[in-house]
Structure 1
């Protein structure tokens, strides 16, 4: 893998070319001071928000319990409290963009979204209505360490661990978005060879019934909108199929181990497949459901070596999936 191919998958690089077939997005260059804030270790401190927003709801209402968190006057701890950072210009720009996009967005950096920190929000997802909520998700995420510190680790021509500039993409939030209708597409030698259901933790019988139709829609979208426009030879891209059969481009990802292959394995995808044949994999039955893989670290940082816990777990899951797929009652 080359740095050039990884860079093409940054949202600020591909979105301008594909915005007409993608989700409405506004992109901001991130000040280096904010990048350092996201990268630094130490106590979890949210910035001072000039708009007076509070990203963390008050969790202590019992005054007796609250006393436990106070430092007594006789305490020997004379250290000064760490001052909260502030990013007023950046905050105002983000606030304006959220308003422009209808009042709710989901954030991502150059490559990754903070999916592992969705549990921190009051809604349990990536929906943000303020700069404070965006900051909370970004600061709480471990998966963003990949973007911040390890973006080029798999590149043979790596000269740096991170890009010179980071960007924050704010993507319009759609309340009618159904995760089971998102699909990851695998392109090898500029040819679509595989499609996988993106949400592997859900069984939806309707998808099985519409499988052929979905394959045709996605293949047509690829041929018309992606194949001759995205310059890499090997890559993946995610799409969302709306109820009206309109297909929307969600993201691009490198052809690399840190991109989740979902219902495939990278070994499957490396094999020579027949010309013009697309493997389309979906969860075929309730028993074939796999756990959600919104791990706290990128896929290549998991210990999946032979004998590891993840190796045993994924092997058993894959075996169960194959059994269910071969069952005469599969999909019933």
Structure 2
């Protein structure tokens, strides 16, 4: 019986830091969606994002209050009960400057943005937004979406969890020299076709493979497979390789049809922490012939699990998210169950 050899991947802190949005965006700006990067971020804002509670204050006349917000602390409405703990709250006193910057950024980018931190976008928290989207039209949308995301928490708590240098893993920030300067990225909202997003694996400045990102079967892609592979490879070799200061990374791209214009969506460290999608990491590392892999009728069953299902919530919560009365009622029922 033969076994696949586990091939280690050397990932350094420099690799991780070099894939932060503010590091790659200026180099590939001509091929990326227009973005605004806000940094440094107030510690109070980072503490809020890392907290378990979701408590926001309504925006009114450029300031915020807590009178009618449908997402304010539910326990305030539960028969006046108070457990003595106060949920972190985005307040005007602490975050006025950042709040104004976010609001101005949204206006400058056309009235709608999708946010992210240095590395991760809060796609896993789309369930909390009306319409199941990452589209934000106000600062409160940005706060809510980021606070509900496990991906964002991972950015904050374990920025170097993929690092492996000289055979030793680094599970977090170990000393002052590794302190991360966190950034809030506002990207102009772009309503894209998820079927045309692809993940490109690059090592030693060579494309190892390309994978469809959205794990659903799109019949029309099969006829375009060879054309899309050529377009993506040409773009990576002509516009990306040699621009990022490192030779291994993972690039997420979007191909706009019918023009075949390629946009860079994100750049990720080349590590097992990043989903290899339709490849196995062993295939990528041993050097199979590079190809564009798609979900087809023959393999669709292998990828039937709903995306980000581990971060999602019951349908009742999703249905109640756009209705403040339903949300309060849901919280009351949950409190009763907890009491029992």
Shorter-chain TM-score: which interval?
Answer: 0.7 to 0.9
Q: Which has the higher contact order (CA 8 A, sep 6+)?
A: 2
Q: CA RMSD in A?
A: 2.7
- Determine which of 227, 251, 264 is the counterpart of 1:249: 264
Shift of residue 156, structure 1, vs aligned partner:
3.2
Q: Distance in 1 between matches of 2:193 and 2:238?
A: 24
Q: Distance in 1 between matches of 2:86 and 2:157?
A: 28
* Equivalence for 1:28: 38
Q: 1:225 to 1:57 in 2, by over 3 A?
A: same
Q: Answer whether contact 2:51 2:147 (CA < 8 A) is retained.
A: no
Q: Matched residue of 1:180: which SS? A: helix
Q: Matched residue of 2:252: which SS? A: strand
Q: Matched residue of 2:201: which SS? A: strand
**2:274 corresponds to 1:259:** yes
Runs of 4 or more off by more than 6 Å in structure 1?
53-57
Q: 1:268 to 1:293 in 2, by over 3 A?
A: farther
* Equivalence for 2:139: 131
**2:164 corresponds to 1:164:** no
Shift of residue 121, structure 1, vs aligned partner:
0.3
Please report the TM-score for the alignment, with normalisation by the length of structure 2: 0.75
**2:102 corresponds to 1:105:** no
* Equivalence for 2:163: 155
Q: 1:208 to 1:40 in 2, by over 3 A?
A: same
Shift of residue 206, structure 1, vs aligned partner:
1.2
Q: Answer whether contact 1:104 1:127 (CA < 8 A) is retained.
A: yes
- Judge which range, 155-164 or 105-114, deviates more: 155-164
Shift of residue 69, structure 1, vs aligned partner:
2.5
* Equivalence for 1:183: 198
- Determine which of 68, 78, 93 is the counterpart of 1:69: 78
- Determine which of 75, 84, 89 is the counterpart of 1:84: 89
* Equivalence for 2:249: 235
Q: Deviations over 1:73-105 (max 9, x none)?
A: xx7x69486673411110110000001111011
* Equivalence for 1:324: none
Q: 1:286 to 1:120 in 2, by over 3 A?
A: farther
* Equivalence for 1:212: 226
- Determine which of 2, 5, 28 is the counterpart of 2:15: 5
Q: Which runs of 5+ in 1 are unaligned?
A: 60-65, 298-332
Q: Which runs of 5+ in 2 are unaligned?
A: 1-10, 312-340
Q: Answer whether contact 1:138 1:144 (CA < 8 A) is retained.
A: yes
Q: Distance in 2 between matches of 1:67 and 1:34?
A: 22
